[in-house]
Structure 1
């Protein structure tokens, strides 16, 4: 191999980590068939050329279905609550969707490596370092997002059941959560082929229902809306930057996008993958987050205090309420099904000795427990805003490092080498840690936190600047710059020229 590798470790080479669910370097294993009618047993193993299938445009629906979401209404309403004028809120919503391009870029590493993104990131952090990073970004944060989305369906499901006389404010949302999470885990168990086959129909159905909901909202929109106290100067820019951070958190959190693309043939054009992924996520997000901002102009203070999820139901005719709530639950299953699916592979990549299906069940149980806690302790609006802002401290640097690594390597990844966990292997670096990646992630996160503004806490630099929230651009620039600089220095020189022939696992 002609790659420039880090210095070989002086420690003796050992056998591969036994927690890997299958040996990716053997050719005598039966060929895997990815079909929607049976559970997917494949985990982080390399997808061989003969098993590749699909087209880049299939990814559009995979990302659109999860993002036709009631959380978009909630986040859109937040833009108005921040004090922005309607046109300012809509402009921020469009700009806040630009990070979807990064989600699309990261996705191209899936077909290149033929394995999960949580394995590809070993190139960035090293075999041991990656376990730490993925335990946070690929698993713990996924559990948080599972909870946020289940929380939305729990509140709305409880509102619907209240009409049938089931009014317990804790027990009913908990029961809804348990039922929805069980269905979600089932989707994750059947996995990639089921998602690919069903999400186009799910997208169409959700768009129809959400457009109908929009039609019921429009008569209540105050098209001449003016903020009660128009913002100017630093106060205005503070609201704009906080709004951008909340919006950008969603696309930045999807570092798992390679997982949904890894079955595509290696010959698939990267530009098509980027476009399908980015547009699939961005278009419904922009549309329905904008609708949420419009909706907020027509709700009174009492309705907003009660929660936008409750206020919007009061604008629907009685016959439409159950249809909308069911659509919200379907969206939740679509989003969390994909999140649980990718999180199960994250568990495998950090060394948990589980096959993918049991790992998916474990992720579902943890997410359900967190949701039940949130149901009993918080409101949907408060939970969404605070968690999305705080999470960018972690996810913005991680996304920047991933995109930078793709650019440096020209998207050349070898799945077999990435799954080699032996000491002294191509991605062992120094003691299993890539100094460049770990340093960039930590310093980028710390820098981001200094510029973060939330209701609960503000970074000292953000506070000094009048509560401007520059956590996303600072985290991205610092992490990407450090990673690039350290990777090119003598401190830690990663393998930037890994060849990527289109071949199956070696014998």
Structure 2
């Protein structure tokens, strides 16, 4: 136990893997979740997200600001709510998911989550490497070449590995102080970007219909909080049980909502006069062209730092997810495997593929459907479950506590599968109007066209699981036994979440 306590210090390598954190080693405050999600969303690349609200949905600035508030604060309130499970069980989200889906049934959601994490990390790494290449070209006049490209990829990966490899305590410390530094840089850049706004066009922009506003909320929620919903528990697992769950919800919503509201609103302002930001394949360069030349260096540093803050969180969660998937190794090794894969992906992005970014992003969009279905099932289970069995979460052998029927909790697996099918019926994945990968038969309906397929997926999985769960006694009896044991434990969660 003393070794675990020692490892949970800034600068020390975290030796704990996915095993639940005992009550005696819990520490911290709810405010940690504020800095965690502020760090994840401080990147200047939130600007293009706001630009799409004006360029593609026709919203005016007031509607875009409203959409930003509801979509960002609301989706990260969900992240905070799901992170309560981490406080209760002391384990990462996908490890806790074993109690919901079964030892074998959890493999599908875990694999999808890991693939999505690695995919977005690859995009972060590639984008950051391009920013670093631009910075070197401006500062030293060095032109891009193969060796320099590899070096820039390695620099970003090394920074990510250093922080993610050290683990939870270092991440929490970095989140707070680096966020302040890069936050100030971003504010400086944003101040100069405001000067480029065409205020005449902003003032005379007509209002869009209510359907466009609703669709915009769906786009923002899907592009921000929903993507992090299955990682909240990873960062709340060290928090004491006694912390009220409501504080986690407020801290998470405010931490992400404040920077996202500012960035999305500014992106909407910029796009009111020029929609190039919304359509650019390289938003880093597109934003750079809007700034005076002497601002390029601080801007690129801010872009690099924002991507790093987001990426180290994703890599840390991906390492935990890979161990949950069944890789029998230490967390640090899993993190190393993760960054090796992102390095290989970055090489392919930048040196081999001619048109890979669009198709790869489309593939990740499809993965968002099963992730949202998982969120619906897990959220409903949280409402019915108050505790998790620590030994059961780590035992995936036949006959273990969360083995259920053949290793599957069939109500959860069935609800998850049906919701995926429904979500895909409303989904269209394409890189352009002429390159359509997948188009569900209802993708052009009002719900599908307004990007609300994820909301339907969430609702179907949640409602179906709520109906099916009481029918399986192996699931309900197990939860009741664990909850009863938790009520007699020395440390009890006395404040309802």
Q: In which range does the TM-score fall when normalised by the shorter chain?
A: 0.7 to 0.9
User: Does the CA contact (< 8 Å) of 1:79 and 1:243 recur in 2?
Assistant: no
| Aligned equivalents of 2:271, 2:445: Cα separation in 1 | 31
Distance in 2, matches of 1:108 and 1:307, equals 37
Change in Cα spacing, 1:257 to 1:180, as seen in structure 2 (3 Å) is same
The SS at the match of 1:99 is helix
Aligned residue number for residue 337 of structure 1: 312
The answer for the alignment partner of 1:275 in structure 2 is 250
**Would you say the 8 A contact 1:458–1:467 is kept in 2?**
no
Q: Which residue of 2 aligns with 1:198?
A: 174
Map 1:208-247 onto structure 2 (within 5 A): 208-225=184-201, 237=211, 241=215, 244-245=218-219, 247=221
Q: How does 1:228-377 map to 2 (within 5 A)?
A: 237=211, 241=215, 244-245=218-219, 247-254=221-228, 255-299=230-274, 301=276, 305=280, 307-376=282-351, 377=353
2:151 aligned with 1:175: yes
2:128 to 139, 153, 157: 153
What's the CA shift for 1:200? Answer: 1.0
**Match runs of 1:465-480 below 5 Å:** 465=446, 467-480=449-462
- Kindly tell me: are residues 451 and 441 of structure 1, through their superposed partners in 2, closer, same or farther at Cα, counting changes over 3 Å? same
Cα offset for 1:382?
5.0
Calculate the TM-score normalised by the size of structure 2.
Answer: 0.87
Task: Flag the structure with more relative contact order, 1 or 2, with Cα contacts below 8 A and sequence separation at least 6.
Answer: 1
Displacement after TM superposition at 1:224 (Å) = 3.4
Q: Once structures 1 and 2 are overlaid, which stretch shifts more, 40-49 or 81-90?
A: 81-90
Distance (whole Å) between structure 1 residues aligned to residue 277 and residue 26 of structure 2:
54
| Distance across 2 between alignment mates of 1:401 and 1:352 | 25
Partners of 2:325 and 2:241 in 1: CA distance:
26
Partner of 1:462: 443
Stretches of structure 1 lacking an aligned partner (at least 5 in a row): 1-27
Matched, 1:81 2:55: yes
Instruction: Determine the structure 2 residue equivalent to 1:52.
Output: 26
Structure 1 range deviating more: 377-386 or 71-80: 377-386
Q: Partner of 1:496 in structure 2?
A: 479
Name the CA shift for 1:243/1:279 in 2 (closer, same or farther; >3 Å).
Answer: closer
By how many angstroms is 1:262 displaced? 0.6
Question: Secondary structure at 1:319's aligned position in 2?
Answer: helix
Is the 2:215–2:450 contact (alpha carbons within 8 Å) kept by the matching residues of 1? yes
Aligned to 1:8: none
Contact 2:82–2:232 (CA<8 Å) still a contact in 1? yes
- For 2:88 and 2:243, locate their aligned partners in 1 and report how far apart those are by CA, in whole Å: 9
Q: Distance in 2 between matches of 1:401 and 1:123?
A: 12
| Number of aligned residues | 473
The alignment status of 1:483 with 2:465, answered yes or no, reads yes
Contact 2:4 2:14 in 1 (8 A): no
Counterpart contact for 1:116–1:345, Cα < 8 Å: yes
Contact 2:70–2:217, Cα closer than 8 Å, also in 1 = no
User: Normalization by structure 1: what TM-score?
Assistant: 0.85
- Using the alignment, how far apart are the partners of 2:213 and 2:439 within structure 1? 14
Kindly report which structure 2 residues correspond to 1:100-115, keeping only aligned pairs within 5 A, or say none: 100-115=76-91
Q: Distance in 1 between matches of 2:57 and 2:371?
A: 27
SS of corresponding position for 2:407? coil
Q: Partner of 1:443 in structure 2? A: 418
Query: For each residue in 1:79-133, what CA deviation from the matched residue of structure 2 results, as whole angstroms up to 9, or x when unmatched?
Result: 2231413333333322322111111011011121111212100011100111232
Aligned-partner Cα distance in 2 for 1:325–1:503: 51
> Please, which of 92, 97, 102 is the counterpart of residue 121 of structure 1?
97
Contact conserved, 1:64 with 1:203, CA < 8 A, in 2? yes
> Higher helix fraction: Structure 1 or Structure 2?
2
